[in-house]
């Protein structure tokens, strides 16, 4: 039994169209989400009111909790000889000029 | 046109004939695109959100540094800072870390007298300047670890080991976990007691500057007039996060690029070492009258169908993984293994340039890896190919 090429071609083209439509739908769906814009605005308001400088990306240690304004000695302040915090310390890069008083 | 349609028809028949190998190739290909695109989307979403929320912050931050350590800064400095030309507002911040002995978690205590009601990311009653003690607003980290909610009383220990009972009047919802997860917001007086910061000092100072063009001048004046301070600008805060996501993202992408490269080498090897069956096919195609361009078009169609389908499937899967399921495969590398686990929800944001990048890195090398070796086979003599 043979299958006509046009049938398989139609299936492949349909699959392709469905994938493109699905992906485009996902992209544009979020552009029109007002809840997302409202959340961003509210978060910005809270940041402004509380004057928070950092995102809560990791709470393992002080220098990874407040990466933008860290305590200069923070990585080694918890206990003398303490192992470095993992994995956040491994992946977090200190801000530029952290070695000096002014940046 | 009919030539293209006929070649496309022949290609679809070939794909159907070798459907097992085609399907397995598309699955492996999609997984690699999925991993690569997931990292791109994850980093881009965080970077986008950080860029927007950090824009609302004051322009300059001043911290006192003695012997390389941060110390509370004297409130007396406020008047002097406010007199600098261009400064519109000077704000003393009272905040610090609180180790919760019961759970082993570390929370951030922030002093405030103004959390506005009516925010979508907030439930309950906000703090006002009339609240002086005994109340708190918590993020979801404390609520979940202690199993408490609005109206519950919580007990915190101050630096002199006195117990302080606070009533939770409001909570930040989980949608704002990226900024409020570990927060305990209390009135200023309460924050000073809990953190052991006297009435004459603050943790640090934030400064609003009227004209953004004058920020550097204000920073220079502060650095010249006040010794032992670290002055940080908002732009530096933002650039710290942008470079952080770039650095962290690059680490992941570096690893994934190796996978991508390995896949491309595999595809190249497979295509360049065309099996005898495939070589015979090309020989037969040439023997029955196919020209070299016809064979090239056929291989191009085959590669395009496979690579576009795999790339789109990988992108859709990555989008669902990151934005619908919260990137469970990537988040552990970012948030660490702390007690207060930051369980933030990512904002769906994807730039066109990233999609183009994924397609460019995924489709072009694959097409090259399939078309070029086929061209080499196609320019050979048909009888030579069939006897090989």
Residue with tokens 């350590």: B69
pLDDT score of A97:
54
B85/B221 same-domain check: yes
**Residues B5-59: pLDDT tens digits?**
788 778 888 777 777 888 888 888 898 889 888 888 888 888 888 888 888 889 9
B210/B313 same-domain check: no
pLDDT of B202 strictly over 90: yes
Tally the domains of chain B. Answer: 2
B67/B216 same-domain check: yes
CB contact under 8 A, B68 and A87: no
B262/B375 same-domain check: yes
User: Residue B108 sits in which domain range?
Assistant: 58-233
Burial of A41 (0-12, 13-18, 19+ CB in 10 A): middle
CB contact under 8 A, B120 and A8: no
Mean pLDDT is highest, among A54-58, A64-68, B305-309, for: B305-309
pLDDT of A68 strictly over 80: no
B256/B124 same-domain check: no
Cβ within 8 Å of residue B191, ≥6 positions away: B94, B95, B96, B109, B110, B111, B197
B85/B210 same-domain check: yes
B82/B226 same-domain check: yes
Last residue of a domain, one of B164, B199, B233: B233
B314/B203 same-domain check: no
pLDDT of B178 strictly over 70: yes
Of A50, A58, A101, the CB nearest to B230: A101
Cβ within 8 Å of residue B248, ≥6 positions away: A91, A92, A93, B43, B334
CA atoms in the 13 A half-sphere facing the CB of B188? 17
B85/B159 same-domain check: yes
pLDDT score of A99:
44
CB contact under 8 A, B57 and A92: no
CB atoms within 10 A of CB B333: 17
Touching check for B123 and chain A: CB below 8 Å? no
Band (pLDDT 50/70/90 cuts) for residue B270 is: low
B191/B123 same-domain check: yes
Smallest CA–CA separation between A87 and chain B, in Å?
A: 5
Domain boundaries, chain A: 1-52, 53-103
Last residue of a domain, one of B176, B211, B233: B233
B199/B328 same-domain check: no
pLDDT score of B316:
93
Last residue of a domain, one of B196, B213, B233: B233
């Amino acid at each position: 039994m043979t299958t006509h090429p046009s049938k398989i071609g139609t299936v492949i083209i349909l699959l392709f169209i469905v994938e493109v439509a699905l992906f485009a739908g996902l992209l544009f769906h979020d552009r029109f989400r007002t809840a997302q814009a409202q959340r961003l605005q509210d978060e910005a308001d809270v940041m402004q009111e509380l004057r928070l400088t950092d995102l809560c990306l990791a709470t393992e240690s002080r220098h990874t909790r407040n990466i933008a304004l860290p305590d200069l000695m923070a990585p080694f302040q918890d206990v003398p000889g303490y192992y470095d915090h993992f994995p956040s310390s491994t992946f977090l890069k200190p801000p530029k000029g952290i070695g000096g008083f002014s940046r | 046109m009919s030539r293209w349609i006929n070649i496309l028809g022949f290609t679809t028949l070939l794909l159907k004939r070798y459907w097992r190998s085609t399907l397995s190739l598309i699955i492996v290909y999609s997984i690699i695109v999925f991993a690569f695109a997931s990292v791109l989307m994850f980093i881009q979403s965080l970077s986008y959100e950080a860029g927007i929320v950090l824009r609302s912050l004051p322009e300059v931050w001043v911290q006192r540094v003695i012997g390389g350590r941060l110390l509370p800064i004297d409130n007396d400095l406020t008047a002097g800072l406010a007199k600098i030309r261009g400064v519109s507002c000077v704000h003393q911040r009272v905040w610090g870390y609180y180790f919760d002995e019961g759970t082993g978690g570390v929370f951030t205590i922030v002093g405030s007298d103004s959390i506005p009601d009516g925010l979508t990311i907030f439930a309950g009653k906000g703090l006002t300047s009339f609240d002086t003690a005994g109340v708190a607003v918590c993020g979801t980290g404390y609520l979940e670890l202690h199993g408490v909610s609005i109206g519950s009383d919580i007990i915190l220990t101050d630096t002199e080991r006195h117990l302080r009972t606070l009533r939770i009047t409001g909570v930040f919802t989980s949608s704002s976990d990226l900024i409020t997860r570990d927060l305990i917001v209390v009135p200023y007086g309460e924050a000073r007691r809990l953190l052991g910061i006297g009435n004459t000092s603050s943790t640090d100072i934030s400064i609003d500057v009227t004209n953004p063009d004058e920020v550097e001048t204000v920073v220079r004046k502060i650095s010249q007039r006040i010794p032992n301070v670290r002055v940080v600008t908002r732009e530096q805060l933002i650039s710290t996060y942008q470079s952080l996501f770039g650095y962290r993202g690059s680490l992941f992408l570096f690893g994934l690029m190796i996978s991508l490269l390995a896949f491309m080498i595999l595809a190249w090897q497979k295509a360049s070492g065309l099996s005898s069956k495939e070589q015979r096919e090309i020989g037969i195609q040439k023997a029955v009258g196919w020209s070299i361009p016809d064979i090239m078009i056929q291989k191009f169609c085959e590669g395009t169908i496979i690579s576009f389908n795999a790339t789109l499937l990988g992108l859709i899967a990555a989008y669902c993984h990151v934005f619908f399921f919260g990137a469970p495969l990537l988040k552990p590398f970012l948030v660490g293994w702390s007690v207060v686990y930051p369980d933030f929800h990512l904002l769906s944001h994807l730039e066109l340039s990233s999609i183009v990048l994924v397609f460019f890195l995924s489709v072009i090398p694959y097409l090259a890896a399939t078309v070029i070796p086929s061209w080499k086979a196609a320019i050979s003599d048909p009888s030579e190919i069939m006897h090989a």
